[in-house]
C-alpha cells in the first residue's frame, strides 16, 4: 500500500496514488455494475461508503470486488458521506480521490483520463448524458460530438468513450463556466449567481490542492445540505475553476438511490424526511 503506482501521460511518467470512493444506499444491482466497470479501469484503491443500507449484501459485494467497506451507526445523508470521504483523503497519503454515486458505469480509459487531468487541476468531472448531468450542457457528451441518444444508452458506453477520445484528445479539458440563472427561475437556496463553475456531483475527482477550498477543517461541504445543494454550495465559494474532461465518459442512471420523488418533495435537506427514506 505504500508503493506509488505509475501512470503514463503526455509522454512522461507521473506517479499518483488514487482512491475511488463509492457512496451507497441499497440498490446493490447498480453498485455491482459500478464495481464491475472498475475491473477494467486503471489500478486504484476502491472503497464503499454506505449510509445504513437495509440490503446487507452490500458488504458482501465489497468483499467480492476487493473494496474496503465503511458504514455508519445511523444514516447521515450523502453530504455526510462525502465529508467522511474527504477527511479520509485528507488524512491519507493518496494524491487524488474520486467520489462517485453507485448508479454509474465507468467507461474503460475514462478514469485514467481524469487522473491525467488531476495532475493539472484540483477538481475535475467527466461527461455523461444530458439526463445524467441534470441538463448541464458543459458536462454533456452531446456538447463534444456525441448524440445524446448514444450517451443515454448503457450498451454504447465503450463506443461513446472511444469516440470522445478520437474527437477531443487534442483539447481534452474545458473550464466549467459560472451558472447563468434562467429567467423566472425559482429562488435557489444558495446564491448560485456567485458560482465560479457549477458542476454536477454524481462523479468528481479532487487532488490535494482542494484543501484550500474546504468549508472548515473537517468538511469540504457544508453539512447542512444533507442530500442536495452540496456541490452548489461548494461552487458558490470556490476560488479555483473546475474542469470537465471531454475524453472521460461515465454513464449515470440518475435519481436511483432516493428516487425522483425524493428530489421533487422539497424536503431534500430535512432530516425527518431522510429517515423515512431509510425505512
The more confident residue out of 56 and 230 is: 230
pTM listed for this prediction: 0.84
Instruction: Average the pLDDT over 138-157 and give the result.
Output: 97
**Burial of 104: CB neighbours in 10 Å, binned 0-12, 13-18, 19+:** buried
Domain 6-277: CATH class, spelled out: alpha beta
Long-range contacts of 132-137 (CB under 8 A, 24+ apart): 132/202, 132/250, 132/251, 132/252, 132/253, 132/254, 133/200, 133/202, 133/252, 134/200, 134/254, 136/198, 136/199, 136/200
- The per-residue pLDDT for range 90-116, each reduced to its tens digit, is 999 999 999 999 999 999 899 999 999
Write the DSSP assignment of 183-210 as a string of letters. Answer: TTPPPPSS-GGG-SS---TTEEEEEGGG
Cα end-to-end distance, the chain, whole Å? 38
pLDDT at 160: 98
Using DSSP's 3-state secondary structure scheme, residue 141 falls into helix
The answer on pLDDT for 135 being more than 80 is: yes
77 within 8 A of 25, measured Cβ to Cβ = no
How many percent of the chain have pLDDT more than 90? Answer: 65
What lies within 8 Å, CB to CB, of 193 at 6+ separation is 178, 179, 181
Write the DSSP assignment of 15-78 as a string of letters. Answer: E--EEEEEEESS-HHHHHHHHHHHTTS---EEEEEES--S-THHHHHHHHTT-EEE--SS---H
Tell me the angle at which helices 57-64 and 28-38 cross, rounded to the nearest 10 degrees: 10
pLDDT at 237: 87
pLDDT at 190: 67
116 within 8 A of 266, measured Cβ to Cβ = no
C-alpha cell belonging to residue 121: 487541476
pLDDT at 150: 98
pLDDT confidence bin for 9, thresholds 50/70/90? very low
- The per-residue pLDDT for range 184-222, each reduced to its tens digit, is 666 666 666 666 778 999 999 999 999 999 999 999 999
Average pLDDT, the chain: 85
C-alpha cell belonging to residue 13: 511518467
The more confident residue out of 183 and 39 is: 39
pLDDT confidence bin for 57, thresholds 50/70/90? confident
Instruction: Average the pLDDT over 224-241 and give the result.
Output: 88
pLDDT at 177: 85
What lies within 8 Å, CB to CB, of 211 at 6+ separation is 90
What sign results for the dihedral spanned by CA atoms 212, 215, 218, 220? negative
pLDDT at 261: 46
pLDDT at 181: 62
pLDDT at 183: 63
Amino acid at each position: 500500500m505504500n508503493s506509488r503506482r505509475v501512470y503514463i501521460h503526455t509522454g512522461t511518467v507521473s506517479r499518483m496514488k488514487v482512491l475511488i470512493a463509492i457512496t451507497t444506499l441499497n440498490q446493490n444491482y447498480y453498485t455491482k455494475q459500478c464495481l464491475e466497470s472498475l475491473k477494467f479501469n486503471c489500478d486504484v484503491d476502491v472503497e464503499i461508503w454506505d449510509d445504513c443500507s437495509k440490503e446487507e449484501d452490500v458488504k458482501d459485494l465489497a468483499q467480492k470486488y476487493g473494496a474496503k467497506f465503511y458504514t455508519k451507526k445511523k444514516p447521515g445523508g450523502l453530504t455526510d458521506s462525502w465529508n467522511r470521504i474527504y477527511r479520509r483523503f485528507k488524512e491519507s497519503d493518496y494524491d487524488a480521490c474520486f467520489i462517485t454515486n453507485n448508479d454509474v458505469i465507468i467507461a474503460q480509459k475514462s478514469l485514467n483520463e481524469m487522473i491525467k487531468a488531476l495532475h493539472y487541476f484540483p477538481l475535475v468531472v467527466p461527461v455523461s448524458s444530458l439526463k445524467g448531468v441534470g441538463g448541464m450542457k458543459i458536462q454533456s457528451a452531446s456538447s463534444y460530438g456525441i448524440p445524446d441518444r448514444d450517451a443515454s444508452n448503457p450498451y454504447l458506453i465503450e463506443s461513446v468513450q472511444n469516440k470522445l477520445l478520437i474527437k477531443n484528445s487534442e483539447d481534452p479539458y474545458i473550464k466549467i463556466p459560472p451558472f447563468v440563472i434562467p429567467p423566472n427561475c425559482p429562488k435557489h437556496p444558495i446564491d448560485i449567481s456567485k458560482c465560479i463553475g457549477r458542476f454536477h456531483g454524481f462523479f468528481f475527482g479532487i487532488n490535494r490542492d482542494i484543501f484550500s477550498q474546504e468549508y472548515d477543517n473537517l468538511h469540504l461541504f457544508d453539512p447542512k445540505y444533507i442530500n442536495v445543494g452540496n456541490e452548489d454550495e461548494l461552487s458558490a465559494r470556490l476560488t479555483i475553476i473546475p474542469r470537465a474532461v471531454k475524453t472521460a465518459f461515465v454513464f449515470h442512471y440518475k435519481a436511483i438511490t432516493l428516487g425522483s420523488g425524493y428530489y421533487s418533495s422539497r424536503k431534500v435537506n430535512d432530516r425527518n424526511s431522510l429517515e423515512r427514506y431509510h425505512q
